A and B are shown apart, each in its own frame.
Chain A
Amino acid sequence: EDQVTQSPEALRLQEGESSSLNCSYTVSGLRGLFWYRQDPGKGPEFLFTLYSAGEEKEKERLKATLTKKESFLHITAPKPEDSATYLCAVPPESGGSYIPTFGRGTSLIVHP
């Protein structure tokens, strides 16, 4: 059974203080990983898909990286508007179910 663990559960940063969120997973074989951002009271917004170890993707102050066992979401010089819950998920095994496995998320608060 696939397992996805996100850490920390919550993170408080000062504006401009760079940090990283972690998403570690136990799967039968690396099949990619998704990152989402969720604002309070709204649905998750898709950010990135990473498909292979060593891959990196960037969007504004966010950079996602992937290894065989974990992914990091690096936030460089965050602003208060980056405050949100960040979710990661692993897609199902090909030929198997249609159900991805989600982590519980990291709640990020960036103080001005």
Chain B
Amino acid sequence: DGGITQSPKYLFRKEGQNVTLSCEQNLNHDAMYWYRQDPGQGLRLIYYSQIVNDFQKGDIAEGYSVSREKKESFPLTVTSAQKNPTAFYLCASSRDRGNIQYFGAGTRLSVL
């Protein structure tokens, strides 16, 4: 079955460390998204990509970076510049413009 795979499920970051969250999809979707979810704040868009080798900043891109070298993969790096990284991170994809029907299971990032 097609879907989105996020890994790891849990991740711990030490101060000053960069960490990378993986997102892989086998749905053949062009568009992929990264969201951050904090309690009571809903989904906030970090980055999105409409097509391979292209991506745009969302509302809260500072302290994060992404790449889109393959259609199937859209990894998110949380850099040491992100001072409050503790959150639940969700990857999503869509076949049509903004019509998101698939999310990954999420990665919970915590700071040691």
Contact = CB atoms under 8 A, between A and B. Distances in A.
Partners in one complex: yes
Contacts of A16: none
Residue in A44, A87, A91, A102 whose Cβ sees the most chain B Cβ within 10 Å: A44
Interface string A81-95: 000000101011010
Contact of B106 (A43, A102, A105): A43
Interface string A40-62: 01111110010000000000000
Size band of the interface chain A makes with B: 20 to 34
B99 A42 contact: no
Interface residues on B, range: 20 to 34
Contact of B48 (A45, A87, A98): A98
Contacts of A34: 99-101
A42 B89 CA distance: 10
Interface of A: 32, 34, 36, 41-46, 49, 87, 89, 91-92, 94, 97-100, 102-105
Interface of B: 4, 6, 31, 40-43, 45, 48, 50, 58, 88, 90, 92, 94, 97-106, 108
